[in-house]
């Protein structure tokens, strides 16, 4: 089975702190994604990566950056956390194919105080 793991299930940080969210997949997938999920808004794409060291902005990249130094690992960075970044963060991965399906991690619930 494909496994996507995220470094923390719950995280509490203070405003202005630098926050790292780690995601690791074990199926040699090319593509990896970071979403945030908020009530009433569904999932919104922050950034995605289709190869090592490659990244593309999603719909809401402001306030975030990403890093993909190894194929299996995709990190989301909040340079200076703010309260409006309190959310559920979901990582996903997929192969690059015609009908690829996305496999999601369990999510990290981040609270910024």
Partner 1 sequence: DAKTTQPPSMDCAEGRAANLPCNHSTISGNEYVYWYRQIHSQGPQYIIHGLKNNETNEMASLIITEDRKSSTLILPHATLRDTAVYYCIVRAIQTGANNLFFGTGTRLTVIP
Where do contacts with partner 1 occur on this chain (CB under 8 A)? 4, 30-31, 33, 35, 37, 40-43, 45, 48-50, 56, 58, 90-92, 94, 96, 98-107
* Minimum CB distance to partner 1 smaller for 87 or for 105: 105
- The distance of closest approach from Cβ of residue 68 to partner 1 in the complex, given in angstroms and rounded to an integer, is 11
Let me know: does 106 contact 7? Beta carbons within 8 Å.
Answer: no
- The distance of closest approach from Cβ of residue 20 to partner 1 in the complex, given in angstroms and rounded to an integer, is 19
Helix (H, G, I), strand (E, B) or coil at 85: helix
- The distance of closest approach from Cβ of residue 60 to partner 1 in the complex, given in angstroms and rounded to an integer, is 12
Nearest to 102 by CA among 36, 37, 54, 35: 35
Let me know: does 2 contact 25? Beta carbons within 8 Å.
Answer: yes
């Amino acid at each position: 089975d494909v496994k996507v793991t995220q470094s923390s299930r719950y995280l509490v940080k203070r405003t202005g702190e630098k926050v790292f969210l780690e995601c690791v997949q074990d199926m040699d997938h090319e593509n990896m994604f970071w979403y945030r999920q908020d009530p009433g808004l569904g999932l919104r794409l922050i950034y995605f990566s289709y190869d090592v060291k490659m990244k593309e902005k999603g719909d809401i990249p402001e306030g975030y950056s990403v890093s993909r130094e190894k194929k299996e690992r995709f990190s989301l960075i909040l340079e200076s956390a703010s309260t409006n970044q309190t959310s559920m963060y979901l990582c996903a991965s997929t192969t690059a194919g015609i009908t690829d399906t996305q496999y999601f991690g369990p999510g990290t619930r981040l609270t910024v105080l």
